[in-house]
A and B are shown apart, each in its own frame.
Chain A
């Protein structure tokens, strides 16, 4: 399992693959630095919280969607899956090792954004650990869900991106009760950013998924994301161990 983890992590953290995310982190830094253009009275904490909600939390599902395809779907697409499936390593270990690598990569990417937001806003130091925990649990939930989707469908990336920007943009803005169906809402509950933060206006709050009232318990949300991740990883491991994964043109 560790070998599968190590090699995929190494591939995912190659500079070429990280470069777009480094650019986005730099963009987050610039965004935080210039936040006062949207809200002239904003404090350092306001800037930090807004950049985290608008960029880092929102980009997490996108990076999770892209990297989750590398767990199995990309191997099938590139036909290199054959090398992995003919090695003496049980399939459940292979997929769990590769999922752990992908979740770690997504946390690293989000961590870069977190640091960039902090440096740009010169604030939010007291929230960094909670935000990192929210991002880690969010990354686990998103990657495990997307991994399962990539095992089930051929054009999974489209479904994952639709989920990331459709479902996750609308559900958190709905009235209380339905928010529990969104990973983003749970992340916001775990992060527990202070009330009264000066926002950048209704449109930006809509994008950040802050229009709905979040009164979920952080502990319940954290536990919920953890259980959800475990269930999705378990389902994926079962599915991968019992189904054939053969490059498409070879299976017809």
Chain B
């Protein structure tokens, strides 16, 4: 459906995406990368807002720039939070449906259907300027789906959604995916992506770093010791007990004598044992976090090894 061949895009001296080649088919694919990785540039190339400087981007075998044939089958939910604020949700989505070629009555019917689908039916008569961030995200999704496109691109769609909103949003995406749609979601949060799909395109500084199954990346990460940060009122006592565990490689107590920084080989096994020690032996732990569970660490592993 989407073929990208050696596509690069420059903004003057700055490169947006660099020599990217990939194909994207039905199902949910996540564009994963830190801010500035080139996710939005790639989205804009696929949605025909801009042309590649070199290489080619084809959607259904056609170049998307100013191509109505492509836009009939493509819906785009941008990252921007801008609307025609004086309109209400129904008016905005109806406008977008009319721009997709539907008659006024058909457009309104479709708008109401999609608005209900994204869970906004009861609040949609208010002007958009009074909408919360979550409501605005839903309206953006509704306008992207209003003409029943085969491809839907969502740029950071979960930004600003509360947990309930996220859950509802993800179930809508799942439903669309089951209908055989091609869905491309960009995100810089690994945890978010894991909830949606295993199929990823990993971008870093404009380059396509990895494609395929997210589990492969996870396995790759597991080859290296994970960092775990534990906050406790008795760091030396707790560190003494934890270093006796088999997977623990090192333990350091910080200068303030409040935090232990551990390196562990098998994080899943370690977390299990840690829970048991807290529940059964009353190990005094206030909190624990894993700095490794962010995308930056994944990139460090992949880029630097």
Interface residues on A, range: 20 to 34
Stretch at the interface among A46-54, A61-69, A77-85, A115-123: A77-85
Q: Min CB distance, A2 to chain B, in Å?
A: 9
Q: Which parts of B21-59 form the interface with A (CB within 8 Å)?
A: 40, 44, 47-51
Taking CB atoms, residues of chain A closer than 8 Å to B68 are: 88-90
Q: Which B residues touch A90, using CB under 8 A?
A: 66, 68
Chain B CB within 8 A of A37 CB: no
Q: Is the CB of A88 within 8 A of B100?
A: yes
A80 to chain B: which residues have CB within 8 Å?
82-84
Q: Are B76 and A244 in contact (CB under 8 A)?
A: no
Known contacts A91-B66, A241-B66, A250-B40, A86 near B82 by CB under 8 Å: no
Complex partner residue of A87 from B78, B82, B84, B100, CB under 8 angstroms:
B100
B86 at the interface (CB under 8 A from A): yes
- Give the contacts of B88-104 with A (CB-CB under 8 A): 95-96, 98-101
CA distance A251 to B49 in the complex (A): 11
B49, A85: Cβ atoms closer than 8 Å: yes
Instruction: Give the residue name and chain of the A residue nearest to B140 (CB).
Output: A83
A78: chain B residues at CB < 8 Å are 82
* Other-chain contact of B96, A83, A251, A252 (Cβ < 8 Å): A83
Bound Cα distance A244, B49 (Å)? 7
Is B175 in contact with chain A by the CB < 8 A criterion?
Answer: no
In the complex, are the beta carbons of A14 and B101 less than 8 A apart? no
Q: Determine the residue in chain B with the shortest Cβ distance to A85.
A: B49
The B-contacting residues of A in range 1-28, CB under 8 angstroms, are 3-4, 7, 11, 14
Cβ B99 vs Cβ A3 within 8 A: yes
Q: Cα distance A80–B69 when bound, in Å?
A: 21
In the complex, the chain A residue whose C-beta lies closest to that of B153 is A86
B264 within 8 A of A: no
Say yes or no: A89 contacts B51, CB within 8 Å. no
- Asked if B99 contacts A87 (CB within 8 A), the reply is yes
**Smallest beta-carbon distance A126→chain B, Å:** 41
Q: Does B143 contact A (CB under 8 A)?
A: yes
Q: Which of A7, A83, A89 lies in contact with B143, CB distance below 8 A?
A: A83
A11 touches B84 (CB 8 A): yes
The yes or no answer to A247 lying at the interface (CB within 8 A) is yes
Q: Are A246 and B96 in contact (CB under 8 A)?
A: no
Asked if B303 lies at the interface with its beta carbon under 8 angstroms from chain A, I say: no
Tell me which residues across on chain B come within 8 A of A14, comparing CB atoms. 86
Q: B76 touching A82 by the CB < 8 A rule?
A: yes
Scoring A11, A84, A88, A252 by chain B CB atoms within 10 A of each residue's CB, the highest score goes to A88
With beta carbons under 8 angstroms apart, the residue of A11, A82, A91 that contacts B78 is A82
**Are B80 and A82 neighbours in the complex by a CB distance under 8 Å?**
yes
Q: Is the CB of B95 within 8 A of A88?
A: no
Residue B71 CB within 8 A of the other chain? yes
A251 contact set on B, CB distance < 8 A? 11, 50
The 0/1 profile, CB within 8 Å of A marked 1, for residues 165-178 of chain B is 00000000000000
> Which of B126-172 touch A at CB < 8 Å?
143, 147
Q: Are A86 and B71 closer than 8 Å at their CB atoms?
A: yes
Those of B167-218 within 8 Å (CB) of chain A: none
Complex CA distance for A247 and B79, rounded to whole angstroms:
12
Chain A residue nearest to B40 (CB atoms) is A250
Most chain-A CB neighbours within 10 Å: which of B49, B78, B147?
B49
Do the beta carbons of A88 and B49 come within 8 Å of each other?
no
Cα-based distance from A247 to B78 in the complex (angstroms): 12
Interface centre among A87, A251, A252 (most CB of B within 10 A): A87
Are the C-beta atoms of B84 and A88 separated by less than 8 Å? no
B contact residues vs A (CB 8 Å cutoff): 11-12, 14, 40, 44, 47-51, 66, 68-72, 74-76, 78, 80, 82-84, 86, 95-96, 98-101, 143, 147
26 contacts between A and B (CB under 8 A): A3-B95, A3-B99, A4-B99, A11-B84, A11-B86, A14-B86, A80-B82, A82-B76, A82-B80, A83-B99, A83-B143, A86-B48, A86-B49, A86-B71, A86-B75, A86-B76, A88-B68, A88-B71, A89-B101, A90-B66, A90-B68, A91-B66, A244-B49, A244-B50, A250-B40, A252-B12
In addition to A86-B75, A88-B101, 6 A-B residue pairs with Cβ atoms within 8 Å of each other are: A7-B95, A83-B99, A89-B68, A90-B66, A90-B68, A252-B12
